[in-house]
A = this chain, B = another copy of it.
């Protein structure tokens, strides 16, 4: 049962069943789906999509979570690329980042 063949295929171009592009493709999508795995982050994204103003405090008000928790979710959403945070004086305005968002839609659609 030799399952682990990673040692020789990290960079290799061997004739493997699942082509390397597919692995990358899967990781690209997984990065985005993972960002939306917890319901809280889905709700945040949905909120950002439905509102013009997207100040952090408003998001916190809408969520039954502590401010630090929401901030952490926003950080992860930013890291996934789905969201951007723009400092606006003492506040931070969060917005959907359309390129990544469209990429998510496309990756799912072409699944």
Contacts and interface: CB of A to CB of B under 8 A. Distances in A.
B30 A39 contact: yes
A23 interface: yes
Contacts of A18: 43, 46-47, 50, 62-63
A6 B67 CA distance: 16
Contacts of A109: 105, 108-109
A27 B43 CA distance: 9
Interface in A51-66: 51, 60-66
Contacts of A72: none
Interface of A: 1-7, 11, 17-18, 22-23, 25-27, 29-30, 33-34, 36-39, 41-43, 45-47, 49-51, 60-67, 101, 104-105, 108-109, 111
